């Protein structure tokens, strides 16, 4: 046992020496065109990339916060190409409009990994994709609602994510797929809150003006929008969550979202895992080594509901689950 520990210490020291010996030219240069800083999910995702693509791990990361500006993101990718970085990772703000710049990057011979969201482009224009299945997340929300309502009527308000983002499109379409089987459900309105807390609050305030007393389900396509919607409902004296007038469903399952789920303020939080950088690094390592890699890697998610709710589609939230979260 003692020997083993000594061995580990020596290995650690050797690894540190090796790291110290890595010159700047040896670092693998990765550009990450990040969406922005619109949500807690995004903050966790950025932090995860900074932790994983560290100099210690052999990388020089250029992370550009594109502030949810599609044109700025395309420009960032073009700059990465001009700087001749080794690998380019893109979390696409919009799903459309990528063909030209991807072709330019391909012509320059730089491998591209699409991460987090999806794009509407031919698969030949990028090398790999790593992300979550937001369509399935929408289906999960729908299935859970159907199970819980068990035939009762639903008058639904939906606050969508950013217009044109695959995460919003997927969640909207997945939920709509389930809704199509429920004539007792009515979607009163569905508007974009841009994946932000302010956006969620503004949309909810206007929903309350138009539909007060008429709705019993609110679906927010991320946790931050749900925090804004809660503020708007609090101000209007509308109760939500377990025992409330309104069933509140959210997506992301970031730390605070899960705390609200544990507290019974969210009925359901459908997870979307932001911890994806290690998977992207794995793909890049295979590319560096000239090994085969998966074209598409799905980061899996689950769903969590408030304590006391039994569901085939979600896990009951506990303090233990919350304590075990890394973000």
Residue ranges in contact with ligand GYE by CB under 6 A: 38-39, 41-42, 116-117, 167, 195, 222, 251-252, 272
What are the CB-based long-range contacts (under 8 Å, 24+) for 71-79? 73/33, 73/35, 74/98, 74/101, 76/31, 76/33, 77/31, 77/33, 77/101, 77/105, 78/104, 79/31
Based on CB atoms, which residue is closest to ligand GYE, 117 or 265?
Answer: 117
Kind and range of the H or E element at 87? Answer: strand 87-90
Based on CB atoms, which residue is closest to ligand GYE, 29 or 172?
Answer: 172
In angstroms, what is the minimal distance from the CB of 26 to ligand GYE? 33
Structure tokens, 293? 């890699």
Q: How far apart are CA 38 and CA 264, in angstroms?
A: 25
In angstroms, what is the minimal distance from the CB of 196 to ligand GYE? 8
Q: How far apart are CA 305 and CA 315, in angstroms?
A: 6
Based on CB atoms, which residue is closest to ligand GYE, 272 or 306?
Answer: 272
Other C-beta atoms lying within 10 Å of the C-beta of residue 243: 9
In angstroms, what is the minimal distance from the CB of 48 to ligand GYE? 13
In angstroms, what is the minimal distance from the CB of 162 to ligand GYE? 7
Let me know: does 158 contact 190? Beta carbons within 8 Å. yes
Based on CB atoms, which residue is closest to ligand GYE, 154 or 226?
Answer: 226
Based on CB atoms, which residue is closest to ligand GYE, 28 or 200?
Answer: 200
Contacts of 310 (CB under 8 A, 6+ apart): 316
In angstroms, what is the minimal distance from the CB of 326 to ligand GYE? 17
293: helix, strand or coil: coil
In angstroms, what is the minimal distance from the CB of 254 to ligand GYE? 8
Let me know: does 311 contact 298? Beta carbons within 8 Å. no
Q: Look up tokens 């003692």; give the residue.
A: 2
Based on CB atoms, which residue is closest to ligand GYE, 110 or 220?
Answer: 220
């Amino acid at each position: 046992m003692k020997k083993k520990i000594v061995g580990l210490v020596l290995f650690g020291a050797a690894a540190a020496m090796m790291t110290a010996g890595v010159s700047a030219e040896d670092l693998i240069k990765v550009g990450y065109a990040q969406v922005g800083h619109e949500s807690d999910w995004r903050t966790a995702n950025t932090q995860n990339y900074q932790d994983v693509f560290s100099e210690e791990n052999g990388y020089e990361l250029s992370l550009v916060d594109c502030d949810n500006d599609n044109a700025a993101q395309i420009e960032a990718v073009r700059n990465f190409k001009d700087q001749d970085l080794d690998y380019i990772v893109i979390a696409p703000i919009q799903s459309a409009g990528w063909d030209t710049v991807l072709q330019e990057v391909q012509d320059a011979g730089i491998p591209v990994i699409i991460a987090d969201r999806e794009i509407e482009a031919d698969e030949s224009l990028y090398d790999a994709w790593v992300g979550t299945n937001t369509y399935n997340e929408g289906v999960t929300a729908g299935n859970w609602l159907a199970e819980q309502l068990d035939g009762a009527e639903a008058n639904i308000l939906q606050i969508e994510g950013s217009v044109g983002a695959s995460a919003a499109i997927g969640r909207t379409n997945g939920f709509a797929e389930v809704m199509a089987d429920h004539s007792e459900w009515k979607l009163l309105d569905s508007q974009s809150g841009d994946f932000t807390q302010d956006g969620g609050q503004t949309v909810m305030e206007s929903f309350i003006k138009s539909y007060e007393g008429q709705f019993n389900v609110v679906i927010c396509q991320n946790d931050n929008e749900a925090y804004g919607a809660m503020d708007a409902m609090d101000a209007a004296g509308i109760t939500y969550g377990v025992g409330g007038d309104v069933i509140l469903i959210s997506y992301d399952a970031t730390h605070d979202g899960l705390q609200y789920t544990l507290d019974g303020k969210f009925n359901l939080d459908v997870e979307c895992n932001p911890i994806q950088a290690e998977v992207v690094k794995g793909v890049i390592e295979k590319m560096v080594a000239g090994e085969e890699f998966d074209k598409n890697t799905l980061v899996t998610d689950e769903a969590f509901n408030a304590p006391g709710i039994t569901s085939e589609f979600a896990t009951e939230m506990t303090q233990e689950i919350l304590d075990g979260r890394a973000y």
